[in-house]
Structure 1
Amino acid sequence: MKTIVPIVLIIGIIVGVYFHKRLGLYKITSIRYVVLGIMVISIIACLTVVYTNASTSKNTYGWHTEYMQYKELHEVASGKGQKIALIDSGLSSFQVNDKRTTSVSLVNGEIDENGHGTMMYSLIRGYENSIMGIAPEAEIIAIKVMSEDEEIKPAIIKEAIQLAVTKGATIISLSLGSYNENEEIKELIIESIEKGITFVSSTGDYESADMLFPAKMKDVISVGSLSANLEVSHFTNAASEATIIAPGDEIKSIGIDKKVQYTSGTSQATAIISGYIALIKEKAMDNGFPLDNQKIIKLLESINKKELTYLDALLSIQ
């Protein structure tokens, strides 16, 4: 508003001078038009500011929270009783001490040096009044497998999955992948799914027709990215083969410096869907029965086909 005031005054004066010359008014009479010009422009500016602020307030937490109806979802479930294993680059120091968080590192140092894990965690759990998490009451098992250089060894991924299973994860979120399959990881994922654990993985951000592993596995929930215009994000790998295309473009999250940022990727969409599945599983457990992997996949496919909204799918669990 402070920036607009001098602009309004200048425009008002210009309008006044215009009326002065146009209508041939002199002396004291022209002041009325200067005042009138200032008043008219001021009113227009104020209405613009009010409208802009109202529009911005609607999107305080980002377009994806409105699109998926976070507030309405949270009236039904919040992720309580679910454990999400976040296999990523670890957490920042301001995240690791949360009472519903377990942080483990399988590489050098516990704290996130990359920022990727910090962002994913904030999308699931939220951050203060800045970020609204999709599953604020879910427990998080953060397993650091990636350092600043982003190099990840298959043996570390395998160890992370084994650790997640041992610690009782109900959902394993993998916002990472490779074009190379690994048989040992593949067998471990199949065994874990048979135990009732849900795997969620990103399709990839390389604009390729080929999906990354392990997202390409049959019973792994593969996630592509949706943009705010409700079109598939251009960078999404194998979009037509994904289980679901979920919000992943220009998503509000928190960085390792505690600053809000807007980032894009199938990773963001994967974290959000991992949290959403926690809501699904909580609702099913509240109704006295667990949902198997195939039923969860069918629900997500129904959302993807626009047969159900995220809220409708959650409410349909009886």
Structure 2
Amino acid sequence: MDSATFLRLLHEEIGLATELDKKHIIHFPSAQAYADCSRQLNQMKNQFVHLASVRDLAIIQAFSCVLPSASVLKQFPQVKEIEEDTRITVHQVASKRTTGRRSNISMGSQVIPWGVDQVGAPDVWSRSTGQRIRIGVIDTGIDYNHPDLRNSIARGVNLLNRNLLPFDDNGHGTHIAGTIAAASRHNGIIGVAPRAIIHPVKAFDYNGSAYVSDIIAAIDWCVHNELDIINMSFGMKTYNRSLEYAVLNAYYRGTIIIASTGNDGKRKTIDYPARFPQVVAVGATTRTQKIAPFSNRGKQIDVYAPGERIYSAWLHGKYNELSGTSMATAHVSGVVALMLAVKPTLRPQQIKNILRRSSISLSKRASSAGAQPGQINARRVLSALKN
């Protein structure tokens, strides 16, 4: 069966799907088979209406679309595997909306949130502010009009509707961006790396939900645009081969991926994609430098960071306190930006090793820092770059 015949069949299968049927990811048996179908898809999608709904996931050489549960496509040699395109959600515990500034440190008219201070970012700003480091925040978008973020935002993408800017309709993405790189010039907050550049990648809807294919397309966009860091403050419980392929592709191209580990309070397991060994896995701590009760924990975690009642930017120019390993991940992305601004040649595994070795122990029984995952510290991390 040639590519054109296969795509006509795919068109028919999509047409048979109902509202109850799920999205799936179609893998091809070879790079050549994928390339032939991808090229043919571009030629046929205007003629066959259902093919317009097929998403081409170039980074993993696969297609994503809705298929009937008993699809006949599984029987054909053009198909190596069909995997369910599962849902994935942002990692957030609770919110307490606020416009106050308690629990934060004032620096004139500017405010340094307590988490930014606790990771030691202000101690190293004389040496690094994350200048020119480009960070893809795969999330719910960003509030383009927030006064603390206006100077930190560069081109992004809305994967839910490519005709629109990645405006945030949830708040989570704006909050993450604020912790990483807010750069208030007057009355506002300062993030961990205030001169880093945020590229908002909207893959999540207003409910904080996305498909794995949305995340894969987001990783593809970040890699294609040669971003330095990808912040992934989200996760799911089940393994997904397609997501792993995308992570591996980004990793081998030198992109540093930082992900939250989940908010279930589990002691021996963490969520995907943080569970992939190529990812920097982040747990959350409290203001008293203890592991947060909601945070997943264990040896699979690479480093902890502040994640309880974190004060950051919110929609419509406001501020909000959120808790979760999402918030902790934003602190780590900021510190990694500080590192890369000093030493841009660092590779992902080097970053992970330095973060682990330079962390501050959270256990009184630990004989030395690094024996168990500890809390990130910018001063110690940058000192390690001299070695």
Q: Which of the five TM-score ranges fits, normalised by the shorter chain?
A: 0.7 to 0.9
Contact kept, 8 Å, 1:123 with 1:132, in 2: the verdict is yes
Q: 1:85 to 1:57 in 2, by over 3 A?
A: closer
Contact kept, 8 Å, 1:299 with 1:313, in 2: the verdict is yes
Deviations 1:213-246 (CA, angstroms, capped at 9, x unpaired): 0100112100000100110000111344310011
* Between structures 1 and 2, the one with greater helix share: 1
Amino acid corresponding to residue 145 of structure 1 in structure 2: A
- Equivalent in the alignment of 1:206: 264
Deviation at 1:149, TM superposition (A): 2.0
Q: 1:155 to 1:223 in 2, by over 3 A?
A: same
Deviation at 1:165, TM superposition (A): 0.5
Map 1:25-44; keep pairs closer than 5 Å.
none
Contact kept, 8 Å, 1:82 with 1:138, in 2: the verdict is yes
The alignment status of 1:126 with 2:182, answered yes or no, reads yes
Unaligned runs of 5+ in 1: 1-52
How far apart are the structure 2 equivalents of 1:56 and 1:167? 36
Q: 1:67 to 1:99 in 2, by over 3 A?
A: closer
Q: Secondary structure at the match of 1:252?
A: strand
* Between structures 1 and 2, the one with greater strand share: 2
Contact kept, 8 Å, 2:121 with 2:192, in 1: the verdict is yes
How far apart are the structure 1 equivalents of 2:121 and 2:324? 20
Contact kept, 8 Å, 1:88 with 1:117, in 2: the verdict is yes
- Equivalent in the alignment of 2:255: 197
Q: 1:276 to 1:117 in 2, by over 3 A?
A: same
Map 1:62-101; keep pairs closer than 5 Å.
62-95=113-146, 98=151, 100-101=153-154
The alignment status of 1:188 with 2:246, answered yes or no, reads yes
The alignment status of 1:217 with 2:276, answered yes or no, reads yes
In the alignment, which of 298, 302, 306 is matched to residue 353 of structure 2?
298
In the alignment, which of 299, 306, 310 is matched to residue 251 of structure 1?
310
Contact kept, 8 Å, 1:64 with 1:251, in 2: the verdict is yes
- Equivalent in the alignment of 2:7: none
Deviation at 1:100, TM superposition (A): 4.4
Deviation at 1:57, TM superposition (A): 4.2
Contact kept, 8 Å, 1:243 with 1:304, in 2: the verdict is no
How far apart are the structure 1 equivalents of 2:124 and 2:152? 23
Q: Size of the alignment, in residue pairs?
A: 261
Map 1:56-67; keep pairs closer than 5 Å.
57=106, 60-67=111-118
- Equivalent in the alignment of 1:166: 224
How far apart are the structure 2 equivalents of 1:73 and 1:233? 26
In the alignment, which of 313, 326, 330 is matched to residue 267 of structure 1?
326
Unaligned runs of 5+ in 2: 1-101, 362-368, 370-375
Structure 1 stretch 94-103 or stretch 155-164: which is displaced more? Answer: 94-103
Deviation at 1:187, TM superposition (A): 1.2
- Equivalent in the alignment of 2:383: 315
- Equivalent in the alignment of 2:234: 176
In the alignment, which of 152, 160, 163 is matched to residue 107 of structure 1?
160
In the alignment, which of 181, 195, 204 is matched to residue 146 of structure 1?
204
How far apart are the structure 2 equivalents of 1:133 and 1:80? 13
Identity among equivalent positions (%) equals 26
Structure 1 stretch 204-213 or stretch 270-279: which is displaced more? Answer: 204-213
Query: RMSD over aligned Cα, in angstroms?
Result: 2.2
- Equivalent in the alignment of 2:6: none
TM-score under structure 2 normalisation? Answer: 0.63
Contact kept, 8 Å, 2:152 with 2:194, in 1: the verdict is no
Larger radius of gyration: 1
Deviation at 1:69, TM superposition (A): 2.2
Deviation at 1:77, TM superposition (A): 0.9
- Equivalent in the alignment of 1:13: none
Q: 1:56 to 1:125 in 2, by over 3 A?
A: closer
Contact kept, 8 Å, 1:84 with 1:140, in 2: the verdict is yes
Q: 1:281 to 1:93 in 2, by over 3 A?
A: closer
How far apart are the structure 2 equivalents of 1:57 and 1:90? 28
Q: 1:233 to 1:240 in 2, by over 3 A?
A: farther
Contact kept, 8 Å, 1:224 with 1:239, in 2: the verdict is no
How far apart are the structure 2 equivalents of 1:216 and 1:99? 30
Q: 1:312 to 1:68 in 2, by over 3 A?
A: same
Contact kept, 8 Å, 2:233 with 2:327, in 1: the verdict is yes
Contact kept, 8 Å, 2:236 with 2:271, in 1: the verdict is yes
